[in-house]
Chain A
Amino acid sequence: MIHIVTGGSGSGKSAFAEEQIVNLQGDVRIYIATMYPFDEESRRRVERHRRMRAGKRFETVECYTHLEELKIPKGADVLLECMSNLTANEMYQEGGAGENTCEAVCRGIDALAAQAENLVVVTNEVFSDGITYDRETQRYLKYLGTINQYLARIADSVTEVVYGIPVRIKEE
Chain B
Amino acid sequence: MKMVIGGAYQGKLAYARNTWKDAGKLLDGAVCSWEELKDCGIVCHLEEFIRRGLADGLPMRELPEYFKKENPDVILVCREIGYGIVPMDAFEREYREAVGRICTQLAAMSDEVHRVVCGIGTVIK
Contacts and interface: CB of A to CB of B under 8 A. Distances in A.
Interface of A: 7-12, 41, 125-131, 133, 137, 140-141, 162-165, 167
Given A163-B5, A165-B113, A165-B124, A10 B101 contact: yes
B28 interface: no
Contacts of B84: 126-131
B85 A12 contact: no
Contacts of A12: 100, 104
B115 interface: yes
B107 A126 contact: no
A10 B82 contact: yes
A56 B64 CA distance: 27
Contacts of A125: 82-83
B83 A8 contact: yes
B89 to A, nearest CB: 12
Contact of B5 (A7, A133, A137, A162): A162
B108 A11 contact: no
A126 B93 CA distance: 13
A125 B82 CA distance: 8
Given A9-B100, A11-B104, A163 B113 contact: yes
Interface of B: 3, 5, 7-8, 80-86, 90, 93, 96-101, 103-104, 106-108, 113, 115, 124-125
Given A10-B99, A163-B104, 8 more contacts: A10-B96, A11-B104, A41-B93, A129-B81, A140-B85, A162-B80, A163-B113, A165-B107
A126 B83 CA distance: 5
Which of B101, B104, B107, B113 has the largest number of chain A CB atoms within 10 A? B104
Contact of A165 (B96, B100, B125): B125
18 contacts: A8-B82, A10-B97, A10-B99, A12-B104, A126-B83, A126-B85, A126-B86, A129-B81, A130-B8, A137-B85, A162-B5, A162-B113, A162-B115, A163-B3, A163-B113, A164-B107, A164-B108, A167-B124
A165 B83 CA distance: 16
B83 A10 contact: no
B104 A10 contact: yes
B46 to A, nearest CB: 12
A167 B83 CA distance: 15
Contacts of B98: 10
Given A9-B96, A10-B98, A163 B85 contact: no
